[in-house]
């Protein structure tokens, strides 16, 4: 059941997902984003990446890492359009790495690289784990591009033989692309393990909404929010599919030769991803007008498939990850902390939290 998208604080209605201006309170705005993983949630704060996973014994394991920005070392990577492509690739790598890590924590079993992977990593002078993650990301990219772009493009080439209109052909290709994506997502959502990941996806969104509203980060508060977030990675993918129709129509090859069409689409994919990222950022901070709501609507509707209502214990894990990413003290409740005996007792429910600021950066699927 869909819940109310607004939270009331101090008599003022605030819409989750919109920028919260708290400069008058002397606080700085902070943006967070995340990703659902196996039995847990990964959150990215301004300075930290937090991974919280429910272990087989019921405890919550929290791992923190510093967040690195490539744009600080290479400023050009932070330019508009370019930053969207960089963010997409970075999120893929970090997401795949945390997904693998979460699977090991949730099952209590670590998967060792094969002898071939170890030898190849040694030859390339990189860590075996990094090689495995890199190969997984490359394989995921190849499969996604092949299924959602090259296959629809091949079908477009067949349409082109009978339909002379450039616009109609690309529009039909976009419809095929979206249909394939929705079918794929719906099918995998039927799997028990993936459905639980989608429940954690909902928990991630609820916790971020709670943070953006300014309310205390508690399970009860987070559960009052919806699971549909406008800055979700699902919305990004939907925007990519829509923008691709426009970009391919204007700049792509109109040849009936399937290889010419595929080549032009591959070359235009970075531009499509970059433009889509900028649109997603704009939607995250734009005023809540009828036009903005209409542009957000398709992505929110697809989230009916990619998110599900979480249980309280799932929201608890998401909040632990969020608090860890924000650098709040003792983010894991003592009852679920594997290292509780080594920590002083502290109340985290009322701990001060930074103000929220809407941003597309770091937001997951």
User: What are the structure tokens assigned to 258, written together?
Assistant: 């399937």
344 vs 171, more confident: 171
Which bin fits 17, alpha (ψ -120 to 50), beta or left (φ > 0)? left
Residues of the chain with pLDDT > 90, as a percent, come to 50
Task: Record the pTM.
Answer: 0.81
- At residue 54 the predicted structure's pLDDT band, cuts being 50, 70 and 90, is very high
Q: What is the 3-state secondary structure (H, E, C) of 84-99?
A: HHHHHHHHHHHHHHHH
2 close to 307: Cβ distance less than 8 angstroms: no
Across 106-116, average pLDDT: 67
Domain ranges of the chain: 31-351
User: Residue 225 pLDDT > 50, yes or no?
Assistant: yes
Residues of the chain by 3-state class (helix, strand, coil), percent to 5: 60, 10, 30
Residue with tokens 């209109």: 165
- At residue 331 the predicted structure's pLDDT band, cuts being 50, 70 and 90, is very high
Model pLDDT for residues 260-303, shown as the tens digit of each residue:
999 999 999 999 999 999 999 898 888 889 989 999 999 999 99
User: Residue 177 pLDDT > 70, yes or no?
Assistant: yes
336 vs 117, more confident: 336
Q: Which residues contact 166 (CB under 8 A, 6 or more apart)?
A: 249, 254
Which pLDDT belongs to residue 133? 66
User: Residue 344 pLDDT > 60, yes or no?
Assistant: no
197 close to 38: Cβ distance less than 8 angstroms: yes
């Amino acid at each position: 059941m869909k819940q109310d998208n607004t939270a009331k604080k101090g008599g003022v209605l605030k819409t989750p997902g919109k920028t919260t201006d708290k400069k008058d309170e002397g606080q700085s705005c902070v943006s967070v984003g995340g990703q659902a993983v196996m039995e847990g949630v990964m959150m990215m704060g301004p300075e930290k990446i937090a991974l919280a996973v429910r272990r087989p014994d019921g405890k919550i394991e929290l791992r923190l890492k510093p967040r690195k920005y490539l744009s600080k070392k290479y400023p050009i990577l932070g330019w508009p359009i370019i930053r969207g492509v960089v963010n997409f690739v970075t999120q893929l790598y970090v997401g795949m790495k945390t997904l693998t890590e979460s699977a090991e924590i949730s099952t209590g079993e670590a998967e060792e690289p094969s002898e071939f992977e170890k030898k190849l990593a040694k030859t390339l002078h990189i860590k075996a784990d990094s090689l495995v993650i890199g190969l997984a990301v490359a394989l995921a990219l190849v499969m996604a591009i092949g299924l959602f772009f090259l296959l629809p493009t091949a079908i477009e080439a067949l349409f082109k033989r009978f339909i002379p209109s450039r616009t109609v052909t690309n529009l039909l290709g976009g419809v095929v692309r979206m249909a394939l994506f929705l079918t794929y997502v719906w099918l995998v959502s039927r799997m028990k393990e993936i459905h639980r990941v989608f429940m954690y996806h909902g928990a991630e969104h609820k916790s971020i909404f709670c943070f953006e509203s300014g309310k205390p980060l508690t399970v009860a508060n987070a559960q009052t929010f919806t699971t549909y977030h406008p800055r979700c990675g699902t919305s990004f993918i939907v925007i990519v599919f829509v923008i691709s129709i426009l970009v391919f129509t204007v700049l792509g090859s109109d040849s009936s030769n399937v290889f010419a069409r595929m080549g032009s689409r591959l070359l235009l994919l970075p531009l499509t991803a970059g433009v889509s990222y900028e649109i997603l950022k704009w939607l995250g901070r734009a005023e809540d007008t009828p036009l903005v709501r209409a542009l957000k609507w398709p992505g929110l509707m697809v989230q009916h498939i990619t998110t599900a209502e979480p249980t309280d214990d799932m929201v608890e894990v998401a909040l632990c990850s969020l608090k860890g990413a924000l650098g709040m003290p003792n983010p894991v409740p003592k009852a679920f902390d594997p290292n509780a005996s080594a920590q002083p007792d502290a109340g985290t429910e009322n701990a001060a939290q930074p103000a929220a600021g809407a941003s597309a950066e770091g937001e997951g699927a």
